[in-house]
A and B are shown apart, each in its own frame.
Chain A
Amino acid sequence: MSLPSPTPRFAPPPQVADRPRLELRNLRKRLGDTAAVNGIDLAVAPGESVVLLGPSGCGKTTTLRMVAGFLQPDGGEIHLDGVVASTSAFALPPEKRQLGMVFQSYAVWPHRTVAENVGYGLEVAGKKKAEIEAGVAEVLDLVQLSALAKRYPAELSGGQQQRVALARSLATKPSLLLLDEPLSNLDASLREEMRFELRALQKNIGLTTLYVTHDQDEALVLADRIVVMNKGRIEQLGTPEEVYRTPASRFVGSFVGIANLLEGEVDAVDRAAGKVRIALDAGDRLWSRAPARWLADAAPGSRATVLLRPEDFRLEQPQVPDQETGIDVSFLSESFLGSHYELKLQAGATPLRVQSRRRGSFVDGRTRLWARPGSAWVVA
Chain B
Amino acid sequence: MSEITASHHLAEGTRATTPLLRRLSSLQPVRFLIIGGSIAILLALIAYPLALLAGYSFIDAHGNLTFDTFEKAFARRGMWQATLNSGWLVLFVTVGACALGVPLAWIVARTDAPGKALITLSAGISFVIPTFISVISWIFLAAPNSGYLNRLAVEYLGFSAAPLNIMSFGGLVFIEIVGVYPLVFFAVSAALNNIDASHEQAARVLGAGRLRTTLTVTLPLVRPAILSAVILVMLDALSSFGAPAAIGTMANFSVITTKIYDLLKFPPQFNYAAAVAMPILIVTAISLLIQKYAIRTENFRTLTGKATPDQITRLGRWRWLAGGFCLVVAFGTAILPVGALVLLSLLSSFGAPISLGNLVTKHYGLIFDEDFVARASIIHSMLLALATATVCATLGLVLGWVVERFRFFGREVISFLVMIAYGFPSIAYAVGILMGYVDLFYGTLTLILIAYAGKLLPIAFVLVRNGIQQLSTDLEEAARISGAGWLRSIKDVTFPLVRGAVGIAWVLVFSLSLRELSMSAILAQSDTQVMPTVVLQFIEDGAVELAAALAVIIVAVSLSMLGLIRLFTRKKTAVVS
Interface residues of A (CB under 8 A from B): 21, 46-47, 68-70, 80-81, 83, 90-101, 103-111, 120-121, 124-125, 138-139, 142, 154, 165, 168-170, 172-175, 178, 204-207
CA distance A99 to B11 in the complex (A): 10
Closest residue to B22 on the A side, CB-wise? Answer: A92
Contacting A at CB under 8 A, from B448-503, are: 472, 474-475, 477-486, 488, 492-493, 496-497
Annotate B523-556 by CB proximity to A: 1 below 8 A, 0 otherwise.
0000000000000000000000000000000000
User: B481 contacts which of A95, A106, A205 (Cβ < 8 Å)?
Assistant: A95
User: A100 contacts which of B5, B28, B481 (Cβ < 8 Å)?
Assistant: B481
Question: In the complex the two chains form, is A68's CB within 8 Å of B481's CB?
Answer: yes
User: A93 contacts which of B12, B480, B497, B575 (Cβ < 8 Å)?
Assistant: B480
Closest residue to B1 on the A side, CB-wise? Answer: A205
Q: A100-B481, A111-B496 are in contact. Are A205 and B4 (CB under 8 A)?
A: yes
Count residues of B near A (Cβ-Cβ below 8 Å).
38
Nearest Cβ on chain A to B401's Cβ, whole angstroms:
15
* Residue B577 is within 8 A (CB to CB) of chain A in the complex: yes
* Residue B8 is within 8 A (CB to CB) of chain A in the complex: yes
Annotate B5-44 by CB proximity to A: 1 below 8 A, 0 otherwise.
1011011101100000011011010000000000000000
Question: In the complex the two chains form, is A96's CB within 8 Å of B577's CB?
Answer: no
Question: In the complex the two chains form, is A173's CB within 8 Å of B3's CB?
Answer: yes
Question: In the complex the two chains form, is A105's CB within 8 Å of B1's CB?
Answer: no
Closest residue to A92 on the B side, CB-wise? Answer: B26
Nearest Cβ on chain B to A114's Cβ, whole angstroms:
14
Q: List, in ascending order, chain B residues with CB within 8 A of A70's CB.
A: 477, 480
User: A175 contacts which of B11, B23, B481 (Cβ < 8 Å)?
Assistant: B11
Q: A91-B26, A92-B26, A175-B7 are in contact. Are A120 and B492 (CB under 8 A)?
A: yes
Nearest Cβ on chain B to A157's Cβ, whole angstroms:
15
CA distance A339 to B214 in the complex (A): 57
Question: In the complex the two chains form, is B23's CB within 8 Å of A90's CB?
Answer: yes
- At the interface, is chain A mostly helix, strand, loop or mixed? loop
Question: In the complex the two chains form, is A68's CB within 8 Å of B4's CB?
Answer: no
Complex A-B: 29 CB contacts under 8 Å: A21-B8, A68-B477, A81-B8, A83-B15, A90-B22, A92-B25, A93-B26, A93-B480, A93-B485, A94-B480, A95-B481, A95-B482, A95-B485, A105-B474, A107-B475, A110-B497, A111-B496, A121-B482, A124-B482, A124-B484, A125-B483, A142-B1, A154-B576, A154-B577, A168-B478, A168-B482, A172-B482, A175-B11, A205-B1
CA distance A125 to B3 in the complex (A): 17
Question: In the complex the two chains form, is B11's CB within 8 Å of A98's CB?
Answer: yes
* Residue B355 is within 8 A (CB to CB) of chain A in the complex: no
CA distance A99 to B496 in the complex (A): 24
Q: List, in ascending order, chain B residues with CB within 8 A of A121's CB.
A: 482-483
Question: In the complex the two chains form, is B481's CB within 8 Å of A206's CB?
Answer: no
CA distance A99 to B479 in the complex (A): 11
Closest residue to B575 on the A side, CB-wise? Answer: A111
Nearest Cβ on chain B to A322's Cβ, whole angstroms:
46
Q: List 9 additional A-B contacts (Cβ < 8 Å) besides A107-B474, A206-B4.
A: A46-B8, A47-B5, A81-B15, A83-B15, A93-B486, A105-B474, A107-B472, A111-B496, A206-B5
User: A120 contacts which of B1, B5, B7, B482 (Cβ < 8 Å)?
Assistant: B482
Question: In the complex the two chains form, is B477's CB within 8 Å of A109's CB?
Answer: no
Q: A80, A95, A101, A120: which has the most chain B beta carbons within 10 Å?
A: A95
Q: A93-B485, A95-B485 are in contact. Are A174 and B7 (CB under 8 A)?
A: yes
CA distance A337 to B475 in the complex (A): 41
CA distance A213 to B11 in the complex (A): 28
Question: In the complex the two chains form, is A207's CB within 8 Å of B4's CB?
Answer: yes
Q: List, in ascending order, chain B residues with CB within 8 A of A138's CB.
A: 1
Annotate B355-396 by CB proximity to A: 1 below 8 A, 0 otherwise.
000000000000000000000000000000000000000000
CA distance A172 to B23 in the complex (A): 24
Nearest Cβ on chain B to A18's Cβ, whole angstroms:
9
Q: List, in ascending order, chain B residues with CB within 8 A of A46's CB.
A: 5, 8
Question: In the complex the two chains form, is B483's CB within 8 Å of A81's CB?
Answer: no
Closest residue to A178 on the B side, CB-wise? Answer: B481
Nearest Cβ on chain A to B487's Cβ, whole angstroms:
11
User: A90 contacts which of B7, B26, B475, B575 (Cβ < 8 Å)?
Assistant: B26
* Residue B2 is within 8 A (CB to CB) of chain A in the complex: yes
Q: List, in ascending order, chain B residues with CB within 8 A of A21's CB.
A: 8
Closest residue to B407 on the A side, CB-wise? Answer: A71
Q: List, in ascending order, chain A residues with CB within 8 A of B493's CB.
A: 109
Q: List, in ascending order, chain A residues with CB within 8 A of B477's CB.
A: 68, 70, 94, 101, 103, 107
Question: In the complex the two chains form, is A95's CB within 8 Å of B497's CB?
Answer: no
Q: List, in ascending order, chain A residues with CB within 8 A of B7's CB.
A: 98, 173-175
Q: What are the 6 tightest A-B residue pairs by CB atom distance, in nearest-first order?
A: A107-B474, A121-B482, A206-B5, A107-B478, A173-B7, A94-B480
Q: A92-B25, A120-B482, A124-B484 are in contact. Are A105 and B472 (CB under 8 A)?
A: yes
CA distance A120 to B96 in the complex (A): 57
CA distance A99 to B15 in the complex (A): 13
Question: In the complex the two chains form, is B5's CB within 8 Å of A205's CB?
Answer: yes
Q: List, in ascending order, chain B residues with CB within 8 A of A168's CB.
A: 478, 482
Closest residue to A83 on the B side, CB-wise? Answer: B15
CA distance A294 to B344 in the complex (A): 99
CA distance A139 to B575 in the complex (A): 25
Annotate B58-101 by CB proximity to A: 1 below 8 A, 0 otherwise.
00000000000000000000000000000000000000000000
CA distance A206 to B25 in the complex (A): 31
Q: List, in ascending order, chain B residues with CB within 8 A of A106's CB.
A: 474
CA distance A97 to B14 in the complex (A): 10
CA distance A100 to B3 in the complex (A): 15
Q: B1, B475, B496: which has the most chain A beta carbons within 10 Å?
A: B1
Question: In the complex the two chains form, is B484's CB within 8 Å of A96's CB?
Answer: no
Q: List, in ascending order, chain B residues with CB within 8 A of A99's CB.
A: 481
Q: List, in ascending order, chain B residues with CB within 8 A of A69's CB.
A: 480
User: B4 contacts which of A91, A105, A173 (Cβ < 8 Å)?
Assistant: A173
Nearest Cβ on chain B to A127's Cβ, whole angstroms:
11
Q: List, in ascending order, chain A residues with CB within 8 A of B488's CB.
A: 124
Q: A95-B484, A101-B481, A175-B8 are in contact. Are A111 and B25 (CB under 8 A)?
A: no
Closest residue to B476 on the A side, CB-wise? Answer: A107
